[in-house]
């Protein structure tokens, strides 16, 4: 191509030809779209930032999936930290049984993919493994050989695990952190350890004397524990009974079960029923773990959309915000903070 084919440079005072003006407008529109795109924002540009600390891939979806999807859709930064790869999980898909810990021990790697797919379904882009993928292994249930392995999260050097999480807290500066209660919800060692590490990191991250080399101090405002109210559990048992199911963990009453939170302790209720579809899709993504037509899903369906799309929390640290929800509960994790 010769210079002769190039148009002469425009006179600064000259009006742009129509097609050139259109091109400029299109370019400007694209730039504006970019600004409106939450992904174009740096993490700290999100006014609301939520950090969830979970033990295994699938816990985020079962316990908090609808909440995560709701806040992500509302352009909060939602960061998920998962502490293990869930290597010791049971494999519910027969053709993938060879991945199990007592066979090829390849389940952890497989679950990285399941978690990524689940996060995509939830609209959550920032998910990490504590210390990097595979740093700590699923601890299995208490008093099993898996639990005694030195590479498990249960046996992890506590200070190192806390430091890893403090680095994340100081990087993304969440106002709200979510983890389990001190029994890990139901006593699994990794859930208990996640609770301990998250609680210690919540406090340490704001302490200027703690690891000054690991980011600027940041004190999150609220720490929540996930909760499953006894009344919701009871409603599930009643529904199962009504449908002819007789064996619900061998219990007749929610009071007899070692799980569930007394209703009067529940401080916060997030109604995320509009994100039920995202939660269900994320459950399907955890194919090796959740039998979508199995008892867990049946239970969820039996309790109905309410139990499944409404998620409950107990405020453990920080100031309770105004309660616009049922029974004066907070209906927003950020209540009182904006
Ligand atoms: Zn778990």
Beta bridge partners of 330: 268
pLDDT tens track for 148-166: 999 999 999 999 999 999 9
For ligand 1, the distance from its centroid to the CA atom of residue 58, given in whole angstroms, is: 7
Residue 185 Cα to ligand 1 middle (Å): 9
> Which has more confidence, 200 or 44?
200
Q: How confident is the model at residue 18 (pLDDT cuts 50, 70, 90)?
A: low
User: How far apart are the CA of 26 and the centre of ligand 1, in A?
Assistant: 48
- pLDDT tops 80 at residue 176: yes
Q: What separation in Å is there between the alpha carbon of 170 and the centre of ligand 1?
A: 25
Mean pLDDT (the chain) is: 86
DSSP-H helix ranges across 37-157: 59-73, 107-122, 145-148
Q: What is the 61 CA–ligand 1 centroid distance (Å)?
A: 10
Strand partners, 53: 81
Nearest to 262 by CA among 284, 233, 290, 239: 233
- On the question of pLDDT at 308 being above 80, the answer is yes
Residue 327: φ, ψ to 5°: 55, 30
Residues constituting the chain: 338
Query: What DSSP assignment string belongs to 205-267?
Result: HT-TTS-TTSSS----SEEEEEE-BHHHHHHHHHHHHHTT---STT-SSGGGSS--B-GGG--
Q: Ligand 1 mean position to 225 CA, how many Å?
A: 14
How far is ligand 1, taken at its centre, from the CA of residue 319, in Å?
Answer: 28
Average pLDDT over residues 21-34: 54
Residue 195 CA to ligand 1 center (angstroms) comes to: 12
Cα(202) to centroid of ligand 1, in Å?
Answer: 20
pTM of the model: 0.85
Residue 243 is predicted with a pLDDT of 73
CA 111 – ligand 1 centroid, Å: 12
- At 75, the pLDDT band (50, 70, 90 cuts) reads very high
More confident of the two residues 279 and 239: 279
Q: Decide if pLDDT at 297 tops 80.
A: no
Q: How far is the CA of 51 from the centre of ligand 1 (A)?
A: 17
What's the CA-to-centroid distance between 89 and ligand 1, angstroms?
9
Using one digit for the tens of pLDDT, what is the confidence trace for 199-254? 999 999 999 999 999 999 999 999 999 999 999 888 878 877 777 766 666 677 88
Q: Is 41 exposed, middle or buried (0-12, 13-18, 19+ CB in 10 A)?
A: middle
CA of 90 to the centre of ligand 1 (A): 12
Residue 20 Cα to ligand 1 middle (Å): 57
Residue among 62, 118, 114, 65 nearest 86 (CA)? 114
pLDDT in tens, 112-125: 999 999 999 999 99
204 CA from centroid of ligand 1 (Å): 24
pLDDT level of residue 298 (50, 70, 90 thresholds): low
Q: Is the dihedral of CA 258, 262, 267, 270 positive or negative?
A: positive
């Amino acid at each position: 191509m010769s210079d002769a084919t190039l148009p002469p440079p425009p006179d600064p005072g000259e009006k742009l030809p129509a097609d050139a003006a259109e091109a400029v407008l299109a370019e400007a529109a694209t730039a504006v779209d970019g600004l409106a795109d939450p992904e174009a924002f740096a993490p700290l540009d999100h006014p609301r930032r939520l950090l969830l600390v979970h033990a295994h891939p699938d816990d985020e979806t079962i316990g908090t999936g609808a909440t995560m999807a709701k806040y992500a859709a509302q352009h909060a930064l939602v960061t998920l930290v998962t502490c293990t790869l869930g290597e010791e999980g049971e494999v519910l898909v027969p053709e993938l049984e060879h991945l199990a810990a007592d066979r090829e021990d390849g389940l952890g790697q497989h679950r990285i993919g399941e978690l990524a797919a689940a996060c995509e379904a939830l609209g959550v882009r920032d998910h990490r493994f504590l210390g990097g993928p595979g740093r700590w292994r699923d601890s299995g249930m208490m008093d099993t050989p898996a639990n005694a392995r030195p590479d498990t999260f249960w046996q992890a050097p506590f200070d190192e695990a806390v430091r890893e999480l403090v680095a994340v807290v100081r990087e993304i500066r969440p106002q709200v952190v979510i983890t389990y209660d001190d029994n890990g919800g139901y006593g699994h060692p990794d859930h208990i350890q996640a609770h301990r590490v998250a609680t210690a990191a919540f406090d340490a991250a704001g302490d200027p004397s703690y690891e000054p080399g690991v980011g600027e101090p940041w004190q999150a405002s609220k720490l929540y524990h996930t909760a499953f109210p006894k009344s919701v559990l009871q409603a599930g048992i009643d529904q199962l009974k009504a449908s002819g199911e007789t064996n619900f963990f061998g219990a007749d009453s929610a009071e007899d079960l070692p799980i569930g939170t007394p209703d009067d302790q529940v401080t916060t209720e997030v109604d995320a029923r509009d994100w039920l579809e995202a939660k269900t899709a994320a459950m399907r993504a955890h194919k090796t773990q959740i039998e979508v037509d199995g008892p867990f899903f049946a239970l969820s369906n039996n309790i109905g959309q309410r139990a499944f799309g409404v998620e409950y929390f107990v405020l453990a640290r920080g100031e309770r915000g105004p309660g616009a929800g049922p029974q004066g509960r907070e209906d927003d994790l950020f209540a009182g903070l904006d």
